[in-house]
Structure 1
């Protein structure tokens, strides 16, 4: 595919990108001419992802915990050293270690969810803006969820963290404009390892609630993120693009 004028030659950091949605986003950005710095916890998985993305000329993988401040600083520093800029940031990392009611939720798990899904996103944004975007501009996309738009029984606190992320997106868009755009995407269930518990052994039943009668695929999200990062979305900021196969139209989450 030809390189997009909005992405060619730019550098992106994509967190949580050794597989699933993050890797699909990284691949789409590379396909459109960008270079990517990807993060995840496991070094071996990152090495495989870098090879899939085209090797060290296209991608750099740096293992570490997404909520670790030293890891964040190292990624930002090495991105500039390796590729010369940080024009784009995709805050994709998210966790949901708990399933059940809020009354049964372990509060340490709740704190960890907030630390990674919301506070971590703010931390990555602060570091990237301070190191590059404040002087040069850029575009940021946060990966939220339809669970952040309405009640989501069973994953309620995860949904609350994503609601906070959506609000942070709006606040950051106001604060960082006009030279830095900040948007979000809110997917429904996408067929990844992260979401397997939501559809395994009952995919047809789950998909029946969607007007488009299928679950999402990682490339469905990747294309939307690439658009929001590109110059085609140059008059778009503070928005959350719902990517749900029509699910929320019928009252689902």
Structure 2
């Protein structure tokens, strides 16, 4: 997709877009001229996000429903074609971190749900986008993964394992869909979202001190990375995972304190919930 297409109104579908990273991605893409289809589970929150984007001048529509619902996924893609006549960008952002806790205590129904939401839904939507538009016209796909997919940590085994699978899926699809479609991922570190509030709330200063760049992430940090990956500036990039983590993986070399501060918070959250 060219920059001119974006200025002329290329269309992006963003999942989990009513708040946090998803909404920040939608705002960033709107600023570059994309027309938007947003999906989210909560109808009221989704309607508010669409209204806010429209108030800022964006062309945006919403499709309420969870990404695990195959019918709603189909409707989201159909809505893009019906309203805007094309689908150039897919951002698979919606995710769940359940079941939370040690894997030996994990409910396997919830375990399967993590893979349905975090992995299967991304594949399903990519298939739908490919069949509806991208196989003939090209496009870009960005999957939102996590820095934590590269290592283990307390109580987030299901989330990390499913996101590691999403990383592999990203690379596999990048190879299969080239050269028409570029597929990449962004792996955030700790970002100030509601989903991660139980980690950063009340401990932000200590967590920031553990990072070489001295602060936790903001949703717009991730959004800017996504906007770059779907732009012409990244036209020779596919199958890549872009870390947006404040230097989490290099903190030992930077000599920052409390290198396992996030892990401590994850353990504490489990203790608080017990």
TM value normalised by structure 1: 0.96
CA distance in 2, matches of 1:36, 1:249: 36
CA distance in 1, matches of 2:34, 2:100: 37
1:20 is matched with 20
Tell me if the contact between 1:6 and 1:231 (Cα under 8 Å) persists in the aligned partners: no
1:168 is matched with 169
Deviation of residue 106 (structure 1)?
Answer: 1.4
Structure 1 residue matching 2:196: 3-state secondary structure: helix
Structure 2 residue matching 1:7: 3-state secondary structure: helix
Question: For 1:48-89, what per-residue CA distance to the aligned partner results, in whole angstroms no more than 9, with x for missing partners?
Answer: 111111259610011011111100111111110101100000
Which has the larger helix fraction?
Answer: 2
Structure 2 residue matching 1:194: 3-state secondary structure: coil
Q: Where does structure 2 lack aligned partners over 5 or more consecutive residues?
A: 253-259, 263-274
1:148 is matched with 149
- How many equivalent pairs are there? 251
Deviation of residue 6 (structure 1)?
Answer: 5.9
Indicate how the Cα distance of structure 1 residues 172 and 191 shifts in structure 2: closer, same or farther if over 3 A, else same: same
Deviation of residue 250 (structure 1)?
Answer: 2.4
CA distance in 2, matches of 1:57, 1:102: 43
CA distance in 2, matches of 1:209, 1:190: 14
Q: What is the RMSD of the two structures over their aligned residues, measured on CA atoms? A: 1.6
Mapped pair 1:205 → 2:200? no
Mapped pair 1:41 → 2:41? yes
2:230 is matched with 229
Question: For 1:27-62, what per-residue CA distance to the aligned partner results, in whole angstroms no more than 9, with x for missing partners?
Answer: 000011000100001111111111111259610011
Tell me if the contact between 2:98 and 2:158 (Cα under 8 Å) persists in the aligned partners: no
Tell me if the contact between 2:188 and 2:222 (Cα under 8 Å) persists in the aligned partners: yes
Q: Which moved more, 1:168-177 or 1:145-154?
A: 145-154
Deviation of residue 208 (structure 1)?
Answer: 1.5
Question: For 1:108-158, what per-residue CA distance to the aligned partner results, in whole angstroms no more than 9, with x for missing partners?
Answer: 111100000001110110111011000100000000001111112221110
2:266 is matched with none
CA distance in 1, matches of 2:208, 2:71: 41
CA distance in 2, matches of 1:57, 1:250: 39
2:244 is matched with 243
Tell me if the contact between 1:96 and 1:158 (Cα under 8 Å) persists in the aligned partners: yes
Superposed, 1:131-142 pairs within 5 Å as 131-142=132-143
1:7 is matched with 6
Superposed, 1:20-99 pairs within 5 Å as 20-54=20-54, 58-99=59-100
TM value normalised by structure 2: 0.88
Q: Where does structure 1 lack aligned partners over 5 or more consecutive residues?
A: none
